[in-house]
Amino acid sequence: MKLCKKIAASVFIVFSVLISAVSCEADLDFGFKDLCFYHPHTAPVKLNVDWSGFRNVEIPTGMTSYVWSASSDKQPTRFITHTLNYITLNLEADYYHAFVFNQTETEYSTIEFHNLDNFDKAEARVIEVKSNWYSTKQPVSKVGAEPEWLAIDCIKNIEVTEEMVAKAEAEYLATLPEANRQLRHNDKRTKEPTKSQNEVGPLLPKSIIKNLDLYVHLENLPYLRSALGAVEDMAEGCYISSRTQTENLVTHTMGSWDVVYDHTESGAVDMMKGAIKASLSTFGLPAGHQGKPEENNLYIKLLLVDNETILEHDFPIGDIIADLNSYDGTQLDQNGKPIWPEIHVYWPEPLPEVEPVGGGQGGFDVGVNDWGDEIEMILPML
């Protein structure tokens, strides 16, 4: 009899310890698993996102959201989805800040993300690149890649109350009898528990990346062989939560140009006059920009058809691009295409009429790679 009591007591103790050790994720289920389904207890929040202000620039294929507790120093929660119009966040009772951006961090090759553990300090920056022809004139500036399209928006103080959490739990528990019956008969749930979603937003991501079309107007175009350019002291990146540019500086170089010819009064193409054109993507102007001409410089370097003559010129353009940060891809022309600012500068004098190398007719070359010893890259020129 005593032996039976000892065995019964031992079984009870083992059973009690086993029950206390079972978590919500355990494979064992003694009927307690459903009661701790919410651990920690959460309520679903549907964060609506409207990409209509960005679709004219680029159509995203997914988005990423970071969510921070506004009342604690907990690490943010990262949500990724290929659904474009909303993200469902399961959150404990608290206040939250969140932002969204298109794609994921790893899908960018020219942008890197920093300080993503801090809502206010999180930022996106262009990566630094090497240039074998340009050296920055300011020690605080680096040569940076052209950034890929990035759209951002944020929302602050999303409220999740205890009542919202309790309602979500009650709705879940109300579905358990039917769900468990299906589980017993079908070995799987054919209907997941449903919960009311609390909707917030919408967030309206807009492009933080700007585009500049640069035109350098020239006379005696047939004597030009190739061109290089640099726009100096632009913003290195942006703060994600505020969509504002950072203070650090970057210089973008341009090696690919198109030729745009003028026309005579009769409408014929004027082969002697026109412009070389390049497009540049950038985060915009740095924080604290005052719109002074000397704050940004367009540096142009030309190689003439004799393959020897090199001309250089600086064009202060800080005042010309002073409103660059106001562009976000939502300004559209009559064809529904985004409007970006154009920069027009004029070479101070006609190009010298030099003799083409080899006695040819000269003109723009594709694949110029002989600007002397300092030029080692192939320049895709037209």
Interatomic CA distance for residues 380 and 382, integer angstroms? 7
Q: For residue 275, is it within any domain?
A: yes
The encoded tokens of residue 319 equal 């005042």
Same domain, 164 and 295: no
Establish if 380 belongs to a structural domain: no
Segment among 119-128, 161-170, 285-294, 335-344 with least mean pLDDT:
161-170
35 part of a folded domain:
no
368 pLDDT exceeds 50? no
* pTM, full prediction: 0.80
Residue 32: band (very low, low, confident or very high) from pLDDT cuts 50, 70, 90: very low
- Statement to judge: residues 222 and 179 lie in one domain: no
Reply yes or no on whether the pLDDT at 40 is more than 90.
no
Same domain, 324 and 239: yes
- My answer on whether 272 and 331 are in the same domain is yes
Same domain, 240 and 347: yes
What is the rounded average pLDDT of the residues 155-179? 85
**CA nearest neighbour of 287 among 227, 329, 237:** 237
Counted domains in the chain:
2
Per the model's pLDDT, the better-predicted residue between 32 and 261 turns out to be: 261
Residue 141 domain-assigned (yes or no): no
Please check whether residues 159 and 240 belong to one and the same domain.
no
Please check whether residues 180 and 279 belong to one and the same domain.
no
User: Cβ atoms within 10 A of the Cβ of 162, count?
Assistant: 11
CA dihedral for 33, 35, 40, 46, sign (positive or negative): positive
Question: Residue 134 domain-assigned?
Answer: no
Confidence band, pLDDT 50/70/90 cuts, at residue 299 = very high
What is the Cα–Cα distance from 203 to 192, expressed in whole angstroms? 28
Residue 183 lies in a domain: yes
- Provide the domain limits for residue 191: 42-107+151-203
Q: Which CATH number does the domain housing residue 56 bear?
A: 2.60.40
**Within a domain: residue 220?**
yes
- Averaged pLDDT for residues 121-143: 88
Q: Confidence class of residue 369 from pLDDT cuts 50, 70 and 90?
A: very low
Strands 94-102 and 151-160: antiparallel
Same-domain pairing of 215 and 197: no
Q: Are residues 57 and 198 in the same domain?
A: yes
Is 345 within 8 Å of 299 (Cβ atoms)? Answer: no
Least confident of 32-41, 60-69, 160-169: 32-41
Report pLDDT for 372: 40
- Please state, in angstroms and as integers, the Cα–Cα distance from residue 135 to each residue in 47, 138, 374, following that order: 45, 9, 11
Specify whether 275 is located in the same domain as 188.
no
Same domain (yes/no): 188, 251: no
Co-location of 193 and 281 in the same domain: no
Asked whether the predicted pLDDT for residue 307 surpasses 80, the reply is: yes
- Asked, for residue 10, whether it belongs to a domain, the answer is no
Local structure of 169: helix, strand or coil: helix
Condensed to tens digits (0 to 9), the pLDDT of residues 60-106 reads 999 999 999 999 889 999 999 999 999 999 999 999 999 999 999 99
Query: Which tens digit of pLDDT belongs to each residue from 310-366?
Result: 999 999 999 999 999 999 999 999 999 999 999 999 999 999 999 998 766 555 553
Please indicate whether residue 202 or residue 179 has the higher confidence score (pLDDT). Answer: 202
Q: How confident is the model at residue 169 (pLDDT cuts 50, 70, 90)?
A: confident
